Structure 1
Amino acid sequence: MSTLSRPQPALRTLTTSHCIPEEPASAQPTTPSSPTSMPPSLGYSSTSSLDEPEEPVARRRRASTKLISQSARDIQKIIGGATTTSITEKCCGGGCCMAITNTDKLTYERVPLPDNDAYRALKLEVGLIPTRLSGVPQVTPKNTVELLSTKHATSIPSPADSGIGLENEAEARDGSVDFTPHGIESHKIDTSIHPPNFVQPHPPYNVYSAKLFSARELTKPGAEKRTYHVELDITDYPVEDGGDFKVGGAIGVMAPNEAGMVEELMDLLCIPRHLRDRPVLLKTGGGRWPTVWGGEKPRELITTRRDLLTWTSDIESYYPTKQLIRFLAEYASDEDEKKLLMYLCSANGQDLFCSLRTGPHMTLVQLLHAFPSSKPPLDQLLAHLEYIKARFYSLSNDPVESCVPRAGCARLIEIAVTIHQDSDWRAGTRTGHGSGFFERQAKRFIEAHEKGEKIDLRVPIFKGLMANPLAKEFVPDGPMLLIGAGVGIAPFRGFVQRRLKMANCANKVWVLQGVRDSLLDEIYSGEWGVHEDEVKRVVESRQASGKGKYVQDEVRAQADLVWFVINSLDGRVFVCGSSQGMGEGVENALIDVAVQKGNLGREEAQKFWDIKKKDGQYVAETW
């Protein structure tokens, strides 16, 4: 039987193997009879201390590795007495400081930071910046954009249109294509309230200028989030392919950027005031912008700088990309600002860029205030911005029978909009793009109504998602259980209105509504119909008594009802609301119900609801 013994030194041959550093014995595996080994030191030295203990004979080290140190004294020689703090300060953020083995070849500088409130609100902790950066992106816009004088145009578009593609001009002249906005007379087009005609939703729809019929705030003062109820007049909405408005459907809204923000942006870009509304020829190299939904192809059209910034380019919703920061650096006249912007978009400044992206929300206006020497040309800036996307809002009424006698049997659609808020460097908070537009319009209407004034306010809409899961799976018969929280309950109001108009259906619909505090943020209380007390249960999560519960808790409490509905002929369970918290909680509660009432394991219960979802009996619309 062989015995364990220490490996013998390898024989030297006439090869280059003698150039490979020998590995210390501490890296060898230990045996019960051998002493416990210590991990090898980190660092490199060609003159290790003679005072160190003599190392045992070692086996040959792999050629792909290199011994760089054997003692703490070696490490001290490498870093030159630098502290941990100074090493960390030079790190790029992705652990790259661990890869720096020759720091004396790297030079750093401390760049003076911009001295303004916009920059300080970014809360960036900038230390030393390398004088030589790596991984800096190239200035490559997604699309080429040019703004030229109209004298370069090959034809003149119709004066009634605020933006007709020149490729369609012949058709526009002979009348074969109608570019007139619905809801507004052609000679009264005002792009301060309606988008230019080249801003089109998906076919076959056009943007319709819906008159704001009524607006009111649903939540009470003190509510954590504000929610508004808005009624829009669609009496003259054009007949288009794709069917009529449906209960549970959603409309698309083409919300503009706030006028004050657009004006401030043009001030920051030093665009002369006499040029802001002057017609220009826009030429693009491809893509869909600025038509939003059109095919990807080059375009030429007549428009204005203000219309492009108001209706086509999102200047407030998106965090800056490295490409945008690199582009701003290209046009920064101040050398310190340029260095800082270049560092932000480089691989060395990755940690700082991550802090920027995950920190307080910012807009393009704030970024230009923070780096005031950057004055990029508008046409090239437009090529780096995202385009404004349509916002979708579920109908909160039954749109089939919505005649309003007091308005000459006007036909209305109703929606509920909860105001989304983010941080703002000047005002403290700012509203979201779409919800902020609705709040501005609602407040103007409410103020005018209180003064006894009539005001013509418009909301650019189009018939958007009438085949979404809520509208598609709604059926006139069979029991329904509707589960929602916050504004997610709004589309279910239309469901109940439709059911209560039908005979023998009052006892076939139930609503579980989750709110924080019913006195502050319960929406549509008393507006569900004469059987509201019988069909609706409100669950409060923040009761003064401290005994609040969430809507998913009520789902478990109503296990018998849930099991009855989902196993009935044409039974439906609908869930609508935020996916975080409520959506996940309700799904887990439904699984618990299946486990309890169906005597199923959790995996079987999950498969049960998956089958119901596939069959259209369980519909979850969350965001």
Structure 2
Amino acid sequence: MSSVYLKVTFSDEFLDEEECDFSQNRIAPFAIGENFTAPIQSAQKLTKHDDVKTVYKLTFNLKNIKQEFQPGDTIGIYPTNNENLILKILVRLGIEAVADKPCQLQILPATGKKDPTIPKHLPQKKSTLKNIFLNHVNVQTPPKKLFLKTLARFTQDSQEQARLVHICSAKAVKEYNELITSSGKTLLELLETFPSCHPPVEAIIEHLPPLLPRPYSISSSPLSDKLEITFFIFEHNNGYKGVCTGWLEELISRKSTEFVPFYFRQPTKFRLPFDTSIPLILVATGTGIAPFRGFLQHRQLQRASGNIWLFYGCRYRDRDFLYGEEMDNYLKSRVLTRLDVSFSRDGKEKSYVQHNIEKHGAEFIEWLLKKKANIFVCGNEKTMVRNVKISIINNLVKHGSMNDSAADNYMQEMHATGKFIVDMWS
């Protein structure tokens, strides 16, 4: 019995204006309010040379955008899949001739699937196959075993079919990892690996996960009348760029006036305290500096005073020290009290933010215990954030007259009371 429970039906009718709104049915985690669109006002490449990730600062035009936000808040950008990649997929599936034809998804009767419904991330009204593949499904996520089992049913060559069935078995963990997980194999690559596999488009649409929006920290102050984000170009092992970053870079490269769809996400505790007299310790690596750049810009535009100590880590001073000149200016204007930067590739020995925290451990703990500073950390969860926590606990023991248990409890209390706030990614 086929597992396919969707059916695509085509019509010769034109899509009206509402049906052409391709933002419908797009998943928006933690959304507040409505969706917005804004053109890119300017784009600036922040990094130079090789051996560093390409990083951009993107500025959006906020005209007609009526939404209050604070530095440290985030937006979710709705990306579009790479059009050339989608065209190749449509050709491989043999549906390029009908890709722009109005269609609608329906449920097949008696499929054996309990209470089948059209997935929420897919258009519930009329659309086109090209729109579905461009805006609603993620074609770069490595396929799951259930998807492979379905593909095996539509594979004509017996050897290819046997291989797909084997990879889906519980015994073939290593083979699955080698073929799919480790290589980051995408839908197109998988279909090219098994040329006799000719699934109906419905089987593909059913199994592809939703194309989720990409969250970005706002790296500007609302007082600047700008909405800016800072992002790096993510590249997979197979050479494909991240869906959203690749799309944004493409818009930048061709100086597109296309409107970028986005929404504001629910705010978290990762916001400046209202009381500007509270000292702040900011710790970031790479693009983790984005919200802190917003913090400092906001304090400058507020003409507010207060002690702020920034620890920042990158690879090279002259390649990826993001907003380096701005940070120097914030120091000169006393918006930023102290700045300690770790360059992991400039010296003979690698230096990271936790090493600078340890180097200035006594003063760090004085800010923490005597000045009652708030700590904000923004970076990778498994590496930077973990090491920073360990470093702080070690310094509480070394300079704060605490044992390991007391230092750990103190860190937990800071978490609970909002004195230690983390924004991290994995």
Q: Please give the TM-score of this superposition, normalised by the length of structure 2.
A: 0.90
Say yes or no: does 1:212 pair with 2:40: yes
1:586 aligned to which of 365, 380, 388:
388
Q: CA shift at 1:360, angstroms?
A: 1.5
- Give the RMSD, CA atoms, in angstroms: 2.4
How far, CA to CA, are the matches of 1:247 and 1:358 in structure 2? 37
Aligned-pair CA distance for 1:389: 1.2
Q: Secondary structure at the residue paired with 2:190?
A: helix
> Residues 300 and 401 from structure 1, CA distance in 2 versus in 1: closer, same or farther, beyond 3 angstroms?
closer
Task: State yes or no: 1:564 paired with 2:366.
Answer: yes
Moved more, 515-524 or 545-554: 545-554
Pairwise CA distance, 1:522: 0.7
1:308 aligns with 2:132: yes
Task: Classify 1:146/1:474 alpha carbon distance in 2 versus 1 (closer, same or farther; 3 Å).
Answer: farther
Other-structure match for 1:458 = 259
Which protein, 1 or 2, shows the higher relative CO under an 8 Å CA cutoff with sep ≥ 6?
2
Q: Say if 2:421 is the partner of 1:598.
A: no
Give the C-alpha shift of residue 524 in structure 1.
0.7
In the aligned structure 2, how far is the partner of 1:204 from the partner of 1:417? 22
Map 1:469-480 → 2, pairs under 5 A: 469-471=269-271, 475-480=275-280
CA gap 1:418/1:259 in 2 versus in 1, 3 angstroms: same
Query: Is 1:352–2:136 an aligned residue pair?
Result: no
The alpha carbon displacement at 1:341 in A equals: 1.1
SS of aligned partner of 1:520: coil
Equivalence map 1:88-487=2 (5 Å): 140=3, 144-150=5-11, 159-162=16-19, 195-199=22-26, 201=28, 205-239=33-67, 244-273=68-97, 275-283=98-106, 285-286=116-117, 288-290=119-121, 300-316=124-140, 318-398=141-221, 400-403=222-225, 412-424=226-238, 429-445=239-255, 455-465=256-266, 467-471=267-271, 475-487=275-287
TM superposition score normalised by structure 1: 0.62
Structure 2 match to 1:555: 357
Give the corresponding residue for 1:498: 298
Q: Please tell me whether the aligned partners of residues 37 and 259 of structure 2 are also in contact (alpha carbons under 8 angstroms).
A: yes
Gaps of 5+ in 1: 1-137, 164-188, 190-194, 292-298, 404-411, 446-454
Shift of 1:339: 1.5
Letter in 1 for 2:398: Q
**1:509 aligned to which of 308, 317, 329:** 308
CA distance in 2, matches of 1:272, 1:591: 59
1:570-597 alpha-carbon deviations (Å, 9 max, x no partner)? 6211110111221111111100111122
Q: Deviations over 1:192-237 (max 9, x none)?
A: xxx3433363665333221000112101011421111111112212
CA distance in 1, matches of 2:159, 2:273: 59
Per the TM alignment, residue 395 of structure 1 is displaced from its structure 2 partner at its CA by: 0.8
Larger radius of gyration: 1
Q: Distance in 1 between matches of 2:420 and 2:171?
A: 49
Q: CA deviation at 1:288?
A: 4.6
CA-to-partner distance for each residue in 1:99-129, whole Å, 9 max, x for gaps? xxxxxxxxxxxxxxxxxxxxxxxxxxxxxxx
Percent of residue pairs bearing the same amino acid type: 23
Question: Cα deviation per residue 1:322-345 (whole Å; 9 max; x = unaligned)?
Answer: 111111111112222112111211
Q: How does 1:27-42 map to 2 (within 5 A)?
A: none
- Post-superposition Cα deviations, 1:489-537, rounded to whole Å, max 9, x if no partner, equal 11101111122334451x5111111111111111111124733255322
2:329 equivalent in structure 1: 530
In the alignment of these two chains, the number of paired residues is: 412
- Kept after mapping to 2: 8 A contact 1:200/1:207: no
User: Structure 2: which 5+ runs fail to align?
Assistant: 108-115
